[in-house]
Amino acid sequence: MTTENKSNTPLNIRDLWQTPKEIFNTLNWEFRFGLDVAASKKNALTPDFLDEKDNALSRGWHPSNWCNPPYSNIMPWVNKAIEQHNLGRTTVMLVPADTSVKWFKKAYDSCNEVRFISGRIAFINSDTQKPVGGNNKGSVLFIWRGCTPKESRTVTLIDREYFYL
């Protein structure tokens, strides 16, 4: 039995959650994202973004990329981040901290940095722009730094409040 696609969230909004701006802004200050690769018009966090019709999984990405992928199918996004890393591009991906699924191990084994976030993130409803509580999992950032070998991987735990300072 797989747990990869289990969710109680209604289908019409399941893959449309927006990252809280405080989290994105803190990471953007560090990484200077040029592209939000898994966005919609309503939840994009960079001026340049790829939405579903742009098919981000079939194109090249920018040198530094933000990715909060659709949680219903994360593996293709992990594969694309690995491909882009091999081309020297950086991707920061925010996903559930679910060590029981295959994509998690693949992401962990291939990235340069893992940042577990303590506590649970209240993602933003892209229609209302209001935070929604009830996230049933913690979150993790997988970071593939362009031109950095994966052998230099670091693993850290950061407090969720770090993003709200």
Residue 151 covered by a domain: yes
pLDDT digits (tens, 9 = 90+) for 92-137: 999 999 999 999 999 999 999 999 999 999 888 878 888 888 788 8
Q: What is the pTM of this model?
A: 0.89
Residue 64 covered by a domain: yes
> Residue 59: pLDDT band by 50, 70, 90 thresholds?
very high
pLDDT digits (tens, 9 = 90+) for 1-50: 344 545 555 544 556 688 999 999 999 999 999 999 999 999 999 999 99
Residue 30 covered by a domain: yes
Residue 83 has pLDDT above 60, yes or no: yes
Residue 26 covered by a domain: yes
Residue 160 covered by a domain: yes
Sign of CA dihedral 70, 76, 79, 83: negative
CATH of the domain at 34: 3.40.50
- For the chain, the domain total comes to 1
Residue 78 covered by a domain: yes
Q: Give how far Cα 46 sits from Cα of 38, 66, 148, Å.
A: 11, 9, 24
Q: What rounded mean pLDDT belongs to the chain?
A: 89
The whole domain housing 128 covers 21-164
Q: What is the pLDDT of residue 2?
A: 44
Average pLDDT, integer, range 147-155: 84
Residue 34 covered by a domain: yes
Residues with Cβ within 8 Å of 74's Cβ and at least 6 positions away in sequence, in order, are: 4, 95, 101, 103
Residue 2 covered by a domain: no
| CA angle, 32 then 52 then 117, to 5° | 45
